[in-house]
Amino acid sequence: MAKRSGEKHDVILDAAVKTFAQTGYHRTRVSDIAREAGVADGTVYIYFENKEDILVTLFQDLMLRFVEDLCCELMQCRDANEKLKKIITYHLTTLANRPDQAKVTQIELRQIDQAINEGISKPLKGYFYVIEEVIEEGKKQGLYRRNLDTRTARKVVFGGIDEVVTCWVMSKKRYDLPALSEPIFELLARGLH
């Protein structure tokens, strides 16, 4: 079945984010998403095969936009440290501004089956590649240790940011997530040096 796109496609995905965040992926039905989107249940099936397809497409679209926009931001940076700081700030700010999206990516996507995991791993690898490029650049610029294992360093960088966002999502008390950019950067940059 060929995938369709367009305004209704996007409305359905926006409704899915909201519904998954409120109800949870496993408790959400396609009819719940359709109701939130203001479309008939059958309309959802014109654009998506099933609920799993909605979740995978949602994550793929979000990550594609996230990585594209981040790469544009990184082009303005002078060196690897500035890029590392931009990655951290961009990640935290983006999810702080989209709390439903943050809840879906931090909680709901971690409770899925292997088939869905395969569908979301490719776009995530694009983000991992961007982080690895910055680490490699930092090694060439003498900002980071040359003997640093890039893949391990990327796991630490992503894992640190990811854990901070997860704690924010799970916290009952709201706080300024982007304000944590500077301390995270200081910690990570020192560890890479």
HEC states along 112-172?
CCHHHHHHHHHHHHHHHHHHHHHHHHHHHCCCCCCCCCHHHHHHHHHHHHHHHHHHHHHCC
* 56 domain-assigned: yes
CATH (domain of 66) = 1.10.357.10
* 30 domain-assigned: no
Tell me: the pLDDT tens digits for 7-56?
A: 888 899 999 999 999 998 889 999 999 999 999 999 999 999 999 889 88
Q: For the whole model, what pTM was predicted?
A: 0.87
* 7 domain-assigned: no
